């Protein structure tokens, strides 16, 4: 009997390590993807801004000081580099919180699915109608 308890405790510890390893690996991949996409967004913004400035007429450069153009570039790139990743991180955290809540509700109260599914369809059509009406 003592051997069985030891095996169960060892298996539980092993499973906990696998879960910990999975979470650590997931967080590493998440951080790497978030950083990679943030740099890609910054690069796209910079190239588009540079192309727009280089295509500007000569009168733009005669009336606009170079410092103002440089300041605008640096401010926009800084905003994309610092604000965008944190906003995406917060949005994803909120989305996964809502998803986890819905999963727990469906698991604990299956009748919730009978009410939530038609409401989700109605909500989708209401959003489509609202978006079509505003444009």
pLDDT value at position 66?
A: 87
130: in domain: no
As for how many domains the chain has, the answer is: 1
- Residues 99-112: tens digit of each pLDDT: 999 889 888 988 98
Give backbone dihedrals phi and psi of 79, rounded to 5 degrees, phi first: -65, -45
26: in domain: yes
- Residues 31-78: tens digit of each pLDDT: 898 888 888 988 998 899 889 988 989 888 889 888 888 898 888 888
Q: How far is CA 66 from CA 62, 71, 93, in A?
A: 9, 9, 40
| pTM exceeds cut of 0.85 | no
The pLDDT of residue 125 is above 90 = yes
Q: Containing domain of residue 50, as a range?
A: 2-108
Average pLDDT, integer, range 15-43: 86
Contact 73, 46 (CB under 8 A): yes
pLDDT value at position 119?
A: 92
């Amino acid at each position: 009997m003592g051997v069985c308890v030891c095996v169960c405790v060892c298996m539980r510890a092993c499973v906990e390590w696998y879960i910990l390893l999975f979470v650590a690996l997931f967080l590493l991949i998440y951080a790497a993807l978030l950083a990679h996409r943030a740099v890609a967004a910054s690069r796209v913004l910079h190239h588009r801004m540079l192309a727009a400035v280089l295509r500007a007429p000569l009168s733009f450069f005669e009336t606009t000081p170079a410092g103002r153009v440089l300041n605008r570039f640096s401010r926009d790139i800084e905003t994309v580099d610092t604000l965008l990743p944190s906003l995406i991180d917060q949005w994803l955290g909120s989305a996964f919180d809502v998803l986890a809540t819905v999963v727990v509700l469906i698991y604990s109260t299956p009748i919730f699915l009978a009410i939530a599914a038609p409401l989700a369809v109605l909500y989708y059509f209401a959003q489509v109608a609202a978006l079509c009406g505003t444009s």
